[in-house]
Amino acid sequence: MTGVPLPEFDYMRPLTVDELSAILAKHKGEARLMAGGTDLIPLMRESVLRPKYVVDVKGVKELHGITTHDGGVTIGAAVTVNEIVESEIIRKKFTALWSAAKELSDQTLRSRATLAGNICNASPAADSCPSLLVLGAEVEVVGAHGKRKIPIAEFFKGVKRTALAQDEFVKAVHIPNQPAGAKSLYSKWKRSWGEDVALVGVAALVSGKKVRVAMSSVAPTPVLVPEIGNVFYGEGTLEEKIEKAAACVPGGICPINDVRCQAEYRTHMAAVLTKRVLRELLGVKK
């Protein structure tokens, strides 16, 4: 397969957000954005995608950089996953995203792959997404008709489908500051020590009694399991609540069988990881 040429296209490299918008408005369905290309290139190689124009976003300065401000942190669409791993602020304050970035693919691919590419590709297994869900991220979108912000929970519409219109693109991902004392973490279960797509990924956020848990690879989109939140307002010891939380997992997900593993195994491991992550965050020893 290696010598097979990719479908033909024209390569475009806009330098500003306005230029990028104009290209998308003009070529709509025929243009495809490329950030790191680590999802796009394999899809083009298999001829799943045959764009007439490939539009490289990495030339646009406004899409680069991680910026912190009073409201939280803003991650530009051209920011690579390794830049996230290297960010002290993200490691300290948004640990779920940091730990997911560290687990995404391998060291070499991470220096090209982006967070925006990860969410726009909308794979059920996308590692960053459960963390963005528990952190309540917002996606800043620019289109021919202006700007809008989409809460991450409304961004995923199905396998490889997002809320973006054809003329729209992601400019940045915003993560709001979390309450003082909030802690978060992502844990990924895979077949090997090295690079592999998640069999299951679980992110959790704990802030006082507020607990949020979200997962990847267990449904057509990354999903929150809201039932878990209620458990922690109820009665019982922390360990009992953690057990109850894990019992909510099977009802909140609908995994499939695939080449990597069986649905039953995914359900089992989703509950196990939920317990592990919650114990770690709540300081409960087992």
Ligand X SMILES: Cc1cc2nc3c(=O)[nH]c(=O)nc-3n(C[C@H](O)[C@H](O)[C@H](O)COP(=O)(O)OP(=O)(O)OC[C@H]3O[C@@H](n4cnc5c(N)ncnc54)[C@H](O)[C@@H]3O)c2cc1C
Tell me the number of residues near another protein by CB under 8 A. Answer: 28
The closest alpha carbon to 20, from 52, 43, 54, 51, belongs to 54
At position 174, the amino acid (one-letter code) is H
Minimum CB separation from ligand X for residue 81, in Å? 6
Rg (CA), the chain: 19
Which part of the chain contacts another protein (CB under 8 A), choosing from 24-32, 105-113, 129-137, 220-228? 105-113
By CB under 6 A, tell whether 44 contacts ligand X. Answer: no
Minimum CB distance to ligand X, residue 123 (Å)? 6
Nearest-angstrom CA–CA distance, 127 and 72: 21
Contact region with ligand X (CB under 6 A), list: 85-93, 116-124, 220-228, 255-263 = 116-124
User: Considering CB distances under 5 to 8 angstroms, the limit depending on partner class, which of ligand X, another protein, none binds residue 118?
Assistant: ligand X
Amino acid identity of residue 173, one-letter, is: V
What minimum distance in Å lies between the beta carbon of 61 and ligand X? 14
Q: What span, in angstroms and rounded, lies between the C-alpha atoms of 256 and 49?
A: 24
CB of 8 to another protein, least distance (A): 5
Question: If binding is defined by CB under 8 A, does position 123 make contact with another protein?
Answer: no
CB atoms under 10 Å from CB of 284, counted, come to 14
Beta strands 31-34 and 53-56: pairing type?
parallel
Report the distance separating Cα 216 and Cα 125, nearest Å: 5
| Binder among 82, 105, 187, 221 for ligand X (CB under 6 A) | 105
The binder of 45, among another protein, ligand X, none, by C-beta within 5 to 8 A per type, is another protein
88 binds another protein (CB under 8 A): no
What residue spans of the chain are helical by DSSP H?
17-27, 40-45, 81-85, 88-93, 95-103, 107-110, 115-121, 128-135, 227-231, 238-252, 263-282
Would you tell me which residues interact with ligand X (CB under 6 A)? 32-40, 42, 57, 77, 104-105, 109, 113-114, 116-118, 120-121, 125-127, 164, 169-170, 195, 197
Would you tell me which residues interact with another protein (CB under 8 A)? 1-3, 5-11, 13, 36-38, 41-42, 45, 54, 56, 58, 106-109, 111-112, 194-195
